[in-house]
Structure 1
Amino acid sequence: MSSDYLTTEKEEVKRIYDYIAQIEKAIRISMQKFKPSICDERYLSGEEVCELLQISSRTLQTFRDTGHITYIEVSGRTFLYPESALNDLLNKNLHPAQI
C-alpha cells in the first residue's frame, strides 16, 4: 500500500504556492493602481499629474496659480485634480498636424 502525502517539497504543491504568489502580486498591483471615482469623476494627486504630463511640481503650481488647471484643495496643502481637467488642458493646447 503506497501512501502519498502532500508536502511542501512536492512539485504540485510548489506550483500551487507559485500560482498563489502570482495572484497576490496581481492583486497588490491592482490595488495600488485603483482610483475610486467620486461623483463619476476620477481624481489624481499632484504627483500623478506631474508624472503624466512630465512636468515639475513647480510647473503644476504655476498652472494652479494662473488658472490653467482645475483643482480641489482638500486640507490646505493637499490638491486633487479631476481627470477631465487634464483632458481639457491637453485638448485646449492641442496643435493639429499640418499635412
Structure 2
Amino acid sequence: MDLYTNEDSQELLQSLDRALPYIEYALKNNKAMFEGERYLTSEELCSILKISRRTLQYYRDDGIFPFIQFPGKVLFRESDIRKVLEDRFRSAYNIEDYSL
C-alpha cells in the first residue's frame, strides 16, 4: 500500500493546474460530430481560411462552397470544404519543368 504525502498532493495539484488550460482549450474548440461529420459556422470557416465574410459570401453565391442553410444559420460540412480545397489545389511549379 502506497502512502501519499502532502508533497505528493501539492505536486498533483500543480500538474492539474498546468493541464487546465489545455483541457479548457479542447473543450472550447472541440465540436460534437453529427453522424461522424463536423459542421462549421461561417465565422469558424472564415477564421480557418483567413478570409472575410464577404469573400465567403462570394464563394457561396458562385457555388464554390456547398452549404446548408437554416433560418438565420448557415453551416458548411467540413468534408465538403476539404474536397473543394483539394480539387482546386495547384502546385507552385511543375516538377517536370525542372529536370536535372
Question: Could you say whether these structures have the same fold, taking a TM-score greater than 0.5 normalized by the shorter chain as the test?
Answer: yes
Cα separation, 2, equivalents of 1:41 and 1:56? 24
* 2:65 corresponds to 1:58: no
Q: Aligned residue for 2:42?
A: 46
Q: Aligned residue for 2:89?
A: 94
Query: Once the two structures are aligned, what percentage of the paired residues are identical?
Result: 29
Residue ranges of structure 1 left out of the alignment (5+ in a row): none
What is the TM-score when the length of structure 1 is the normalising length?
A: 0.75
Cα separation, 2, equivalents of 1:78 and 1:18? 42
Cα separation, 2, equivalents of 1:98 and 1:66? 28
AA of the residue aligned to 1:95 = R
Q: Aligned residue for 2:33?
A: 37
Residue ranges of structure 2 left out of the alignment (5+ in a row): 96-100
AA of the residue aligned to 2:67 = Y
Aligned residues: 90
Deviation at 1:98, TM superposition (A): 0.8
Deviation at 1:90, TM superposition (A): 0.7
Deviation at 1:12, TM superposition (A): 4.7
Root-mean-square deviation (Å): 2.0
